[in-house]
Amino acid sequence: MSKGARTKETIVAEAMKAASVEGFNGLSIGNLATRLGMSKSGLFAHFGSKEELQKAVMDASSDRFLEAVWKPARAEPRGLPRLRRMFALWLDWMNANPDLPGGCILTAAATEMDDKPGPVRDKLVTMQNEWMATLARSAELAVSEGHFRTDLDCQQFAFEVSGIVFSLSFYTRLLHDPKARDRAQAAFDDLVSRAAPNAGKAANDT
C-alpha cells in the first residue's frame, strides 16, 4: 500500500469515529486535519470536498459492516441458521463497536440524511436497499429450505427485521434500556415463530 493510500485510510478511520458521534453533517475537514495533525490543504487533497469524504466514510462503514456481519453469516447453512447468525452478528455490531463510540454510522445516517437530497443520500439509499434485498433473499432461502412457510411475504420479513434493529438502536442509544438487546432478540424469535411452516395452520385452527 502506498503512503498516500495509507494516509487516506487513516483519514477515513478517524472520520468514521467522528461521524459516529457528530453525524455526517458534523464532519469537518478542518476539525479532522487538527485531530490528525495535518494541514487542511493536505487533507483536502485526498478527497477534494466534504461530500467525497462523506461518501468514502459510507463506503468504509459498509465494508466493515459486511465483513463483520454478512461474511461470517454466509458460512452458516442456508436458511434459518444463516438468518439467526446474521441477526446475532448484527446485534453485536450495533452494541459493541469500540472504534465507533457513537454507534452504527449507517443507522444514524438513515435518520440524519433522510430529508437531505443529494449524492450522499443517494449512496446511502442504494446501500440500505441492497441490504434489505439481502435480508429478503435470505428469507426466501429459508422458505426454499422448508424453514419458513411457503406463503411468507419475504419483503415484509426484511422490513420487520430491520425495524427491530432500528428499535434496538433507539432503546440502546437514547433510552439506555439495559434490556434492549433481550427485547430485540425476543422480537426476532417471535417473528421467526410466525414465519414457521406450521404457523399459518396454527392460526387458522384457533
The model's pTM:
0.88
Q: Is 5 within a domain?
A: no
Identify the pLDDT of residue 206: 45
Quote the CA–CA distance of 43 and 165 in Å, as a whole number: 35
Cβ atoms 91, 184 nearer than 8 A: yes
Q: Is residue 2 part of a domain?
A: no
The pLDDT value recorded for residue 3 is 81
Q: Residue 126 domain-assigned? A: yes
**CB-side neighbour CA atoms (13 Å) of 116:** 13
Torsions phi, psi for 23 (to 5 deg): 85, 165
pLDDT of residue 200: 60
Where in the sequence is the domain holding 117, given as residue range(s)?
A: 51-205
Q: What is the pLDDT of residue 28?
A: 81
CATH assignment of the domain containing 86 = 1.10.357.10
Q: Total structural domains in the chain? A: 1
In the prediction, which pLDDT does 88 show? 97
Is residue 28 situated within a structural domain? Answer: no
Is residue 21, in this structure, part of any structural domain at all?
no
Tens digits of pLDDT across the chain (206 residues): 788 788 899 999 999 988 888 888 888 888 888 989 998 888 888 888 888 999 999 999 999 999 999 999 999 999 999 999 999 999 999 876 767 778 888 888 888 888 889 999 999 999 999 999 999 999 999 999 999 999 999 999 999 999 999 999 999 989 999 999 999 999 999 999 999 998 866 544 54
Q: Let me know if residue 45 belongs to a domain.
A: no
Position 47 scores a pLDDT of: 85
